[in-house]
Amino acid sequence: MPEVTMSNTEELNELMRVRREKLQELRDHGIEPYGNKYEATDYTQGIVENFEKYDGKNVKLAGRIMAKRGHGKASFANLQDMTGGIQVYGRLNDLGEEAYEMYEKLDIGDIVGLEGSVFKTRRGEVTVSITDIVLLSKSLRPLPEKWHGLKDVDLRYRQRYVDLTVNPEVRKTFVIRSNIVKEIRKHLEGLGFLEVETPMMHPIAGGAAARPFVTHHNALDMELFLRIAPELYLKRLLVGGFDKVYEINRSFRNEGISTRHNPEFTMLELYQAYGDIEDMMELTENLVSSIAQKVLGTDKVQYEDQEINLAAPWKRLPMLDAVKEYSGLDFNSIHTDEEARGKAKGLKLEINGNESWGDILNLVFEEFVEPKLIQPTFILDYPVEISPLAKRKKDRPELTYRFELFIYGREMANAFSELNDPIDQKQRFENQLKKRDAGDDEAHMMDEDYIQALEYGMPPAGGLGIGIDRLVMLLTNTQSIRDVILFPQMKPRD
């Protein structure tokens, strides 16, 4: 058992030094400040919400002391557990001198187990009158202030445990996140999807246009990439006969950090054999609106200054129509790459001179249309050059059966009828390689094994990806992706 020594106290501030002295004092009195298992019978929320059922009953609770109000020979405190908090009340008469002294000397932040009977105070607050209390963990650091909580966002993300302890709305956000993921699984299970796990370390980083993280396997002496998307592995499973698969996957992209980007993020990807993009739109509408209903109890959600109506069906708008509507440019009457670039210059868009018709269409779309798409909108028919894994439209081969879903101007989902023609797919990869050679290090890599898989035959399929972090942001009305990721990436201090 370590003793408190001069060498480790002299660096501590007053508050921490006092707590270490209390710790030693407890041990001197034969009280172990770090206890063992405690079997609670109830959680605080259940008692507060069902007082009539609990009135006069004996309960055992475990949690953290969050506030103290001493009154001499009787003292109030607040106990917080996973579900919420409750007031507790200890009296010298009930506890005896030794236990009462320990109770009175508890610090905010200490973790205790206690037993007592439920009653209501004169002022109407549900309270547990303590008959027995045991210290389970002595807290040696002061918690942030009860009234303002922890606001410094840097500290909140670096010390999420403190953030969760003192900011109830943060705790609520992560409970909602957990419920969203749970409901996604339930929904997909109900539709007959199989949850699978595919590699996170890829010899070829495929399935998306993004820069990967690179790592090294020592025993195999080979370079590996952290996955940027699970797509190509999941579609190999379609080849293998798993007709409905999904993966709730962590993927990694070696790019800038912002309020909407974390280097590791969570996506839902699913594939449905013998389906197409129409099935994906229906599935997306139903999935998102029913999750909102189940998790929030409504499909009308407030996000920042807008009420978003998630009730299906959602607006469907071909990209060409959307661009025409918001920018005035009709790409149906623009026929060459050069002409398209000229129009982009006319709109003062920055271009490098290598863009194709489809690249420019997408640029104009991002600039003029995306921010306007507040209510859920499926944008359809993406150009083939920016959709190397999507099936070409039958009547317009320069476009694909692809949609992206936008809500509040943000991309929330991406889906297509999957390209299952191995010869076309190989050509698409080769075009991507040309882009790579031209210096685009986010262009797709060639994946020969994936081509080989397609050559065995992949059923026609619809595929869908949904950004879970962004969905959670929408449903929790949070403004930064860091508010929905428990431990967002931060630069180390010093």
Partner RNA sequence: GAGCCAUUAGCUCAGUUGGCAGAGCACCUGACUUUUAAUCAGGGUGUCCCAGGUUCGAAUCCUGGAUGGCUCACCA
**Segment 455 to 474, residues that bind RNA, using CB under 7 A:** 467, 469-470
The reply to whether 383 sits near RNA by the rule CB under 7 A is: no
Q: Are 44 and 84 in contact (CB under 8 A)?
A: yes
CA–CA distance, 410 with 483 (Å, rounded to integer): 17
Please state the closest distance from residue 198 (CB atom) to RNA, in A.
18
Residue 36, token pair as written in the block = 């063992």
Work out which of 246, 265, 314, 378 binds RNA, going by CB under 7 A. 265
Which residue, among 132, 97, 107, 98, has the nearest Cα to 20 in the 3D structure? 107
| Least distance from RNA to the Cβ atom of residue 155, Å | 6
* Given 261, 316, 396, 434, the residue binding RNA (CB under 7 A): 261
CA 472/CA 74 separation, integer angstroms: 44
Cβ within 8 Å of residue 6, ≥6 positions away: none
Site string for RNA, 415-454 (x = CB under 7 A): ---------------------------x------------
| CB-nearer residue toward RNA: 100 or 357 | 100
* Minimum distance, C-beta of residue 392 to RNA, in the bound complex (Å): 20
**Segment near RNA (CB under 7 A), from 28-36, 40-48, 149-157, 293-301?**
149-157
| Residue 14 makes contact with RNA by CB under 7 A | yes
Place of tokens 């986010």: 442
- Binding flags for RNA, 198-227, as an x/- string (CB under 7 A): ----------xxxx----------------
Residue with Cβ nearer RNA (463 or 467): 467
Please tell me the distance from the alpha carbon of residue 429 to that of residue 349, in angstroms, as a whole number: 28
Q: Is 85 in the site for RNA (CB under 7 A)?
A: no
Does 263 sit near RNA (CB under 7 A)? Answer: yes
Smallest separation, CB 150 to RNA (Å): 5
* Cα 35 to Cα 20: distance, rounded to the nearest angstrom: 16
CA distance 171 to 44: 15
State the nearest-atom distance from the C-beta of 274 to RNA, in Å. 26
Q: What is the spatial distance between Cα 331 and Cα 335, in angstroms, rounded to a whole number?
A: 8
| Residues 101-140, interacting with RNA (CB under 7 A) | 107-108, 119, 121-125, 127, 129
Q: Which of residues 388-417 bind RNA (CB under 7 A)?
A: 411, 414
Among 177, 227, 253, 428, binds RNA (CB under 7 A): 253
> Any contact of residue 66 with RNA (CB under 7 A)?
no
- Out of 190, 256, 346, 439, the residue judged to bind RNA by CB under 7 A: 256
According to the binding rule CB under 7 A, does residue 148 interact with RNA? yes
Determine the distance from the C-alpha atom of residue 167 to the mean position of all C-alpha atoms in its chain, rounded to a whole number: 18
Residues 6+ apart with CB under 8 A from 101: none
- In the complex, the smallest distance separating the C-beta of residue 444 from RNA, rounded to whole angstroms, is 10
Contact between 73 and RNA by CB under 7 A: the answer reads yes
**Residue 236: helix, strand or coil by DSSP?**
helix
Reading the block at residue 365, the tokens are 């779309």
- CA–CA distance, 65 with 134 (Å, rounded to integer): 12
Closer residue to RNA, CB minimum distance, 224 or 228: 228
Q: Are 35 and 113 in contact (CB under 8 A)?
A: yes
When binding is defined by CB under 7 A, the residue of 35, 84, 149, 318 that contacts RNA is 149
Q: Is 290 in the site for RNA (CB under 7 A)?
A: no
Any idea of the CA torsion for 377, 378, 382, 388, to the nearest 10 degrees? 120
Size of the site for RNA (CB under 7 A): 72
482 binds RNA (CB under 7 A): yes
Binding segment for RNA among 28-36, 153-161, 236-244, 283-291 (CB under 7 A)? 153-161
> DSSP for 353-419?
S---HHHHHHHHIIIIIGGG--S-EEEE--BGGG-TTBPBPSS-TTBBSEEEEEETTEEEEEEEEBP
- For RNA, give the closer residue by CB, 67 or 438: 67
Sequence-ordered list of residues with C-beta below 8 angstroms from that of 323, at least 6 positions apart, any chain:
329, 331, 361, 364, 365, 368, 369
Least distance in angstroms from the C-beta of 122 to RNA: 4
Least separation in angstroms between CB 282 and RNA:
21
Note whether 258 binds RNA by CB under 7 A.
yes
Looking at 32, 101, 145, 189, which residue binds RNA (CB under 7 A)? 145
Three-state secondary structure string covering 157-182: HHCHHHHHHHCHHHHHHHHHHHHHHH
**Matching residue, tokens 């026929």:** 335
Q: Is 390:402 a contact under the CB 8 Å cutoff?
A: yes
State yes or no: residue 359 binds RNA (CB under 7 A): no
